[in-house]
Amino acid sequence: MLKKIHIFKAITAAILLTSTPILAQEPMEGPVTGVAIPSGTADTYEDVGKITAFNLKKKVPILREQKQRLLQERESLMNQNKQLSSENQSLMERVVELEQNIAHLDAQLTQMQPKVQAYEEMQVELARQDSLKKAGVPAPDDNRFCAKKHGKLQVDRSYFTDLKSQVISNGWGLQIYSSPSLCDAQEVALQFEASHNYWKTYVKVKEIDGQTMYAVIYGSLKYKEQAQYYCNQFIKKVAKTEGELNAFLVQH
C-alpha cells in the first residue's frame, strides 16, 4: 500500500511539471483504480498510510504478547488436563479396589451373620438369666430342693433350715441376712447354724415392695425385750459379717 502511494506521488509530480496551468487544476485519474482523485490529496494519503503503519507497528508487540500469554495459558491448561487425567485414572483404580474390598467384606459378613446372630441370642439369654438370678429365680435345670421350693413357701412364715417344715410358735429373732434367692438364704442359714448352735436358725419368707425375700433369722425368743438385749450383745461380741453387724429384730 505504501509502495503504491509513493508511485502515485511520483507520477503526479511529473504531470504537474509538464502540464499547463489549466490542466494542473483539472482532476486527474488515479494510476490504479481510474477514479478521479482531487489534486493535493497525495500528502493526505501518505499521512494516513504512515499513521496506519505506525499503529500496526505498535500493535505487533501487543499481539505477540497476547499470543505468548495465550500459548502459556494453553500449555498450563494442557498440563492441568494431564494431571487431572492422571488423578482421575488413579481415582478410578482406587474405586475399583474399594469395590473389590467391599465385595470381599460383604462375603465375610454373609458368612459371619449366623455366628453373629447366635452370639446376640446368647447375650440376650445370658442377660435374661442374669436378671432372673438377681431376682433370685433359679435356673430351669437347677434340681436342688431349695430351687424347687423357690416361690412356693408361704409368705410371713418361718421355716427350718431344711425348708421342710414351718415354725409353729411365735417369737423374736435376729435377722442377719436377706436375699431374693431361697437357695442363697438356705446356704447362709446352714453355714451360720453350723457355727452358732446356741439357738435355732430359720428362714423367713417376707415380701418387700412386691418382691419375695428370704431372710435368715437366728433364735426365737418369746419376749421382745429379751430378744433386743441379746441382739445388742450379739452385735457387740459375736457379729462379724456386714449382715450380722446390722442385725435387727424380726418376729416369727
Q: Where do the DSSP E strands lie in 102-189?
A: 158-160, 172-179
Contact between 175 and 216 (Cβ < 8 Å): yes
- Residue 250: pLDDT band (50, 70, 90) is very high
Is it the case that residue 14 has pLDDT exceeding 70? no
| pLDDT given at position 122 | 94
Question: Do 192 and 219 meet the contact criterion of CB atoms below 8 Å apart?
Answer: no
pLDDT at position 16 is 43
How far is residue 117's CA from residue 192's CA, in Å, rounded to a whole number? 45
Nearest one of 10, 15, 35 to 25, comparing CA atoms: 15
pLDDT at residue 170, as a whole number:
86
CA pair distance 19, 138, nearest whole angstrom = 145
Q: Beta 201-208 vs 158-160: how paired, if at all? A: antiparallel
The per-residue pLDDT of the chain, averaged, comes to 83
Name the pLDDT band for 168 (thresholds 50, 70, 90): confident
End-to-end Cα separation, the chain, in angstroms: 137
Nearest-CA neighbor of 184 among 192, 173, 194, 196? 192
Residue 12 pLDDT more than 80? no
At 210 the pLDDT is 87
As a whole number of angstroms, the distance between CA 242 and CA 41 comes to 132
Of 35-49, 54-68, 72-86, 204-218, least confident by mean pLDDT is 35-49
Q: What value, to the nearest 5°, has the Cα angle with vertex 174 and ends 168 and 177? A: 105
**Residues 217-236: b if buried by 16+ CB within 10 A, e if exposed:** bbbbbeeeeebeebbeebee
Q: Write a three-state SS string for 89-120.
A: HHHHHHHHHHHHHHHHHHHHHHHHHHHHHHHH
For 102-117, the pLDDT digits (tens) are 999 999 999 999 999 9
User: How many C-beta atoms lie closer than 10 Å to residue 25's C-beta?
Assistant: 9
Question: Residue 252: helix, strand or coil by DSSP?
Answer: coil
**pLDDT score of 39 more than 70:** no
CA–CA separation, 91 and 97 (whole Å) = 10
State the pLDDT at residue 2: 46
Q: pTM value? A: 0.53
The pLDDT score that the predictor gives to residue 136 is 80
Above pLDDT 90, what percent of the chain?
A: 60
What is the tens place of the pLDDT at every residue in 109-152?
999 999 999 999 999 988 888 887 777 888 778 889 999 999 89
Lowest model confidence (mean pLDDT) among 5-9, 59-63, 68-72, 91-95: 5-9
pLDDT (0 to 100) of residue 43: 55
Q: Which three cell numbers stand for residue 190?
A: 446352714
- Is the per-residue pLDDT at 83 higher than 50? yes
